[in-house]
């Protein structure tokens, strides 16, 4: 720039797009300061000049505004004017000097009265004025979400918060709870994500997650926070919300999800959710403990069926945890002392109760006094503590040993848990036991729940093909309870469909249940499969099933479970 030019001395006719050292121009101190001020005033971002102690010497118009006005900022330490922000966009106390962090090359996300901003140094050499040390650049962000994105606190797929950001926000909510401001926590588990991923590919799975996240956020208030916590798990932080309010929000989400259908490549899938609800109050639990409690409640809801909500109550949960630990010890001791015994319940032709088809093998536990223990007492604990695979092996080993000593050609069906189905070693174990006992594989059958078959579809297919090649038969149990029945049934090499007893037992009183039984039975026959109706307890019910053409029945009308002998 020529100082003798007729143009105004400090006019800038075009936007600057290069960085250039101006010391060679020979400008005096005042001229250099004026030029710096002019350049700063002609940018939209805030520019701040700092001394060696981090105090503000000068700021352009935008910088002064963002910092609360020139009277508020000039001569003040930077740390006193700004607060650091956690990656989730919440203010937090400054643990380390902002100025020191800036000098270390860090870009800091800071809280302003107008919202979040990024602050970073663009020059950190000592200037000729000997009083100015650094020039900082203050760029206002549009939202806390943008702050999270810049700080790496967002989930890259859904665009909402990630787990670490969510835990930070929970900690902030717990601090506010100490002042009497309660919040709510929702832990949401999504049904059938694995099904979509395995059958339609990862692109479909990613699209499902994005659409579901959109459904969740459409139900929330502006001050609430949504985060993706795992592959198909989400968390919601409900700010300034009571426990009843959190329950209402969970119900709103369930209703919205129930009406949603995921469409991909001409297929349509109904999904579901399980939601655990926890109140964030002043009881002093950590963020990890809160998440664990919400996750546990979500799991309880999941076991109750799809689209269920379970509220966490601290005392009840502690009692349940203690009882579970007691059952863990009891189960392990019963295994060691061989106090698990087998029962069997016959399955007969619907039109002729005297024609016995096969028996389902049921596991029972004896307590130390020799009394029977209900499966509803020990099975949940076995599932929780990862003992189902051991129990499945125990059942298979015992029933094959029993069959190898019998002269009859009686057929038996054993249940396989989802845990064993997903373990390739269980398939190897079953083949080994068949070879060892010499039992004809045509006499043994396996019952797999629809939910387990769908959630572990690939493992189920491998299991069925391996043992099916040997001659074993397969039942798809509790059919109708899941949501993917029609779409995936044709891919599973099953031979029998067991219609969920919850539909069967009420079909004479509920037209919808009757229609479900009729539809499932018709579908199975069209596909060349035979059907079994569970929970048959009356002659009237048997006659209705016979009229529908159901092939077999099981229930107290035929026989109660009896010891295998």
In whole angstroms, how large is the CA radius of gyration of the chain? Answer: 34
Backbone angles phi, psi at 564, to 5 degrees: -70, 120
Q: Locate 326 and state its tokens.
A: 């007691």
Instruction: Check residues 146 and 181 and name the one with the higher pLDDT.
Output: 181
pTM, 2 dp:
0.48
Q: How far apart (Å, rounded) are the C-alpha atoms in residues 423 and 429?
A: 10
Does residue 205 register a pLDDT over 50?
yes
Q: Strand, coil or helix: what is 125?
A: coil
Confidence of residue 185 (pLDDT cuts 50, 70, 90): very high
Q: How far apart (Å, rounded) are the C-alpha atoms in residues 28 and 35?
A: 10
Instruction: Check residues 187 and 66 and name the one with the higher pLDDT.
Output: 187
Does residue 147 register a pLDDT over 70?
no
**Mean per-residue pLDDT for 194-199?**
77
Residue 442 exposure: Cα atoms within 13 Å on the Cβ side:
1
Instruction: Check residues 116 and 69 and name the one with the higher pLDDT.
Output: 69
Closest of 173, 170, 309 to residue 250, by C-alpha: 309
- Select the highest-mean-pLDDT range: 135-139, 179-183, 287-291, 442-446: 442-446
pLDDT digits (tens, 9 = 90+) for 299-313: 888 877 788 998 887
C-beta of residue 117 within 8 angstroms of C-beta of residue 141: yes
Q: How far apart (Å, rounded) are the C-alpha atoms in residues 128 and 32?
A: 9
CATH code for the domain defined by 43-148 = 3.30.450.20
DSSP secondary structure of 191-244: TTHHHHHHHH-HHHHHHHHHHHHHHHHHHS-TT-EEEE-SSSEEEEEETT--HH
Which single residue is written with the structure tokens 């389902």? 360
Question: Beta partners for 111?
Answer: 83, 116
Does residue 425 register a pLDDT over 60?
yes
- Select the highest-mean-pLDDT range: 35-39, 115-119, 171-175, 530-534: 530-534
Supply the pLDDT for residue 540: 94
**Mean per-residue pLDDT for 336-349?**
94
Closest of 377, 255, 374, 284 to residue 328, by C-alpha: 377
Angle between helix 539-548 and helix 511-526 axes, rounded to 10 deg: 40
Q: How far apart (Å, rounded) are the C-alpha atoms in residues 250 and 297?
A: 13
Supply the pLDDT for residue 383: 83
Is 266 exposed, middle or buried, given 0-12, 13-18 or 19+ CB atoms closer than 10 A?
exposed
Instruction: Check residues 267 and 358 and name the one with the higher pLDDT.
Output: 358
Beta strands in 36-144 (DSSP E): 46-50, 56-59, 83-84, 108-112, 115-123, 134-140
Domain ranges of the chain: 43-148, 154-312, 327-563
Query: Residues 554, 557, 560, 562: is their CA dihedral positive or negative?
Result: negative
Domain 154-312 in CATH 3.40.309.10: no
C-beta of residue 299 within 8 angstroms of C-beta of residue 283: no
Kindly report the average pLDDT of the chain as a whole number: 79
Q: How many helices (H) and strands (E) does the chain have?
A: 22, 23
Supply the pLDDT for residue 549: 95
Q: Strand, coil or helix: what is 418?
A: helix
Domain 327-563 in CATH 3.20.20.450: yes
Closest of 33, 36, 81, 72 to residue 54, by C-alpha: 81
Q: Locate 17 and state its tokens.
A: 């797009």
Q: Locate 93 and state its tokens.
A: 């106390």
**Mean per-residue pLDDT for 58-85?**
73
């Amino acid at each position: 720039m020529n100082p003798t030019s007729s143009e105004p001395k400090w006019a800038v006719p075009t936007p600057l797009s290069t960085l250039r050292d101006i010391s060679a121009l020979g400008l005096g101190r005042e001229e250099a300061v004026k030029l710096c001020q002019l350049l700063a005033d002609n940018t939209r971002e805030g520019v701040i000049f700092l001394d060696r102690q981090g105090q503000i010497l000068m700021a352009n118009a935008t910088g002064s505004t963002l910092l609360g006005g020139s009277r508020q900022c000039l001569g003040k330490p930077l740390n006193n004017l700004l607060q650091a922000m956690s990656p989730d966009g919440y203010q937090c106390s400054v643990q380390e000097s902002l100025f020191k962090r800036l000098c270390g090359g860090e870009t800091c996300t800071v809280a302003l009265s107008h919202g979040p901003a990024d602050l970073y140094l663009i020059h950190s050499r000592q200037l000729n004025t000997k009083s100015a040390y650094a020039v900082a650049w203050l760029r206002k962000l549009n939202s806390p979400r943008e702050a999270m994105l810049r700080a790496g606190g967002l989930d890259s797929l859904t665009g909402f918060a990630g787990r670490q950001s969510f835990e930070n926000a929970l900690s902030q909510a717990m601090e506010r709870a100490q002042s009497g401001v309660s919040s709510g926590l929702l832990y949401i588990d999504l049904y059938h994500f694995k099904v979509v991923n395995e059958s339609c590919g990862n692109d479909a799975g990613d699209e499902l997650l994005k659409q579901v996240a959109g459904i969740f956020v459409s139900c929330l208030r502006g001050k609430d926070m949504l985060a993706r916590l795992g592959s198909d798990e989400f968390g919601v932080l409900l700010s300034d919300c009571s426990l009843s309010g959190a329950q209402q929000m969970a119900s709103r989400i369930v209703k919205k999800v129930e009406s949603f259908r995921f469409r991909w490549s001409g297929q349509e899938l109904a999904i579901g959710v399980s939601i655990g609800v926890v109140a964030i109050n002043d009881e002093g639990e950590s963020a990890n403990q809160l998440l664990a409690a919400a996750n546990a409640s979500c799991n309880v809801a999941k076991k109750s069926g799809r689209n269920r909500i379970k509220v966490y109550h601290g005392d009840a949960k502690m009692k349940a945890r203690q009882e579970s630990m007691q059952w863990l010890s009891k189960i392990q001791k019963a295994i060691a002392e061989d106090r698990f015994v087998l029962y069997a319940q016959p399955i007969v032709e619907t039109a002729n109760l005297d024609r016995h088809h096969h028996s389902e093998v049921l596991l029972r536990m004896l307590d130390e006094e020799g009394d029977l223990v209900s499966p509803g007492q020990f099975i949940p604990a076995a599932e929780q503590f990862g003992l189902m695979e051991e129990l499945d092996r125990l059942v298979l080993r015992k029933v094959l040993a029993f069959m190898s000593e019998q002269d009859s050609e009686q057929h038996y069906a054993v249940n396989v848990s989802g845990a064993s189905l997903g373990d390739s070693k269980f398939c190897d174990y079953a083949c080994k036991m068949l070879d060892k006992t010499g039992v004809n594989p045509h006499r043994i059958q396996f019952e797999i729940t629809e939910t387990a078959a769908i959630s572990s579809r690939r493992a189920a297919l491998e299991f069925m093909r391996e043992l099916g090649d040997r001659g074993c038969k397969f039942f798809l149990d509790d059919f109708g309870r899941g949501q993917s029945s029609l779409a995936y049934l044709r891919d599973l090499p099953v031979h029998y469909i067991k219609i969920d007893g919850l539909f069967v037992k009420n079909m004479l009183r509920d037209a919808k249940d009757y229609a479900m039984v009729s539809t499932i039975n018709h579908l199975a026959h069209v596909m060349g499969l035979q059907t079994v109706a569970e929970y048959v307890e009356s002659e009237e019910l048997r006659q209705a099933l016979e009229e529908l053409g159901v092939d077999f029945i099981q229930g107290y009308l035929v026989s109660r479970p009896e010891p295998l002998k």
